[in-house]
Amino acid sequence: MVTEQTLTIGELAKQGNVATSLLRYYEKERLLEPVGRTASGYRLYSQDSLRHLRFIRRAQRYGFSLNDIRLMRGAAHDPGGDKHDIRLIAEQRFLEIERRVTEMLVLRHELEIFLDDVTQQIGETAGKEVGNRYRQLMEQICGHDHAGGRRSSLKKLIERLGCNLATTEWESLLANLRGQHLHIWREDDASYSILFTDPDTKVVAALETLAAGETGCDAHIEPQVQAADGGTLFTARGDNAFLFAQLFLALEAGEA
């Protein structure tokens, strides 16, 4: 029987932004159980099911297997369960990500040194003028200023792509976003979703202004800003949507 305390499978799928087939799959995997059925046989879910669904989706985005999620949910809801299992699973996943991040940072570091060596060799063999031109090209690509040290790779990348962000008034627009706590994830279509949890109207206004300023930008599709459960959701799409992911992560850390 449908009540105010229950959700149909269609309602849960809509609120969770997933397909009903995925909910049936989670049921098969013993991750999300319905609390009953209607007289017609349709699945009914409790209000807590939406929270559980979002937990599962977030855990999958972080790379946890369905078995890991099943173990974490089981231990969390079992008073006698071993909470050490949850911590161990999460720590192992964190260390795995740290290894991958370190590998990429090392690769970027060594590539910049390699490109610096290449520019020097070209200058020695092809002449100073050709070497300077190649050096300028490398500075645009890797954001490395050979004359004055390292510049902001993010700003150089945005400028190289011709993104409108490079011409906006950065400080006045981004000041309200600096240091803001956020959740960020990459969608299946390669877009990025950034959830800002602060309900401050200044944050919302800054995001809306930022999105509107990108109308007609050659670097990426115009972002979308909308209210979401738990805050304000900023969605960036297109091949260069990662620019926004880098920008907001830098802002959260106070680096941009």
Q: What is the 3-state secondary structure (H, E, C) of 34-51?
A: CCEECCCCCEEEECHHHH
The CA distance from 207 to 23, in Å, is 32
Domain that holds residue 31: 6-61
Give the model confidence (pLDDT) of 29-82 as tens digits: 999 999 888 888 888 999 899 999 999 998 888 888 898 888 887 755 555 555
Which residues lie across from 235 on neighbouring strands? 193, 224
How far is the first Cα of the chain from the last one, in angstroms, to the nearest whole number? 53
Element at 37 (helix H, strand E): strand 36-37
Q: Are residues 178 and 238 in the same domain?
A: yes
Amino acid at 151: R
Mean pLDDT is lowest, of 24-28, 44-48, 197-201, for 197-201
Percent of the chain with pLDDT over 90: 16
Q: Are residues 247 and 174 in the same domain?
A: yes
- CATH number assigned to the domain comprising residue 43: 1.10.1660.10
Q: Which of 126, 248, 233 is nearest to 187 (CA)?
A: 233
Which residues lie across from 145 on neighbouring strands? 149
Q: At what angle do helices 153-160 and 242-252 cross, to 10 degrees?
A: 150
Place of tokens 């956020």: 182
Amino acid at 148: G
DSSP state of 219: S
The CA distance from 75 to 22, in Å, is 23
Give the model confidence (pLDDT) of 73-111 as tens digits: 775 555 555 556 777 888 888 888 888 888 887 887 777
Residue 148: per-residue pLDDT: 47
Q: Are residues 137 and 184 in the same domain?
A: no
- For residue 29, being part of any structural domain is answered with yes
Q: Which of 38, 2, 7 is nearest to 23 (CA)?
A: 7
pLDDT at residue 206 greater than cutoff 80: yes
Give the model confidence (pLDDT) of 127-137 as tens digits: 767 666 766 66
pLDDT at residue 142 greater than cutoff 60: no
Q: Are residues 147 and 174 in the same domain?
A: no
Residue 33 CB contacts under 8 Å (≥ 6 apart), including other chains = 27
The CA distance from 202 to 171, in Å, is 14
The CA distance from 11 to 136, in Å, is 55
Residue 111: per-residue pLDDT: 77
- CATH number assigned to the domain comprising residue 173: 3.30.1360
Count of the separate structural domains present in the chain: 3
- For residue 80, being part of any structural domain is answered with no
- For residue 178, being part of any structural domain is answered with yes
Q: Are residues 147 and 168 in the same domain?
A: no
Q: Which of 242, 174, 251 is nearest to 207 (CA)?
A: 174
DSSP state of 49: H
DSSP state of 126: H
The CA distance from 220 to 20, in Å, is 31
Q: Are residues 168 and 244 in the same domain?
A: yes
Q: Are residues 37 and 106 in the same domain?
A: no
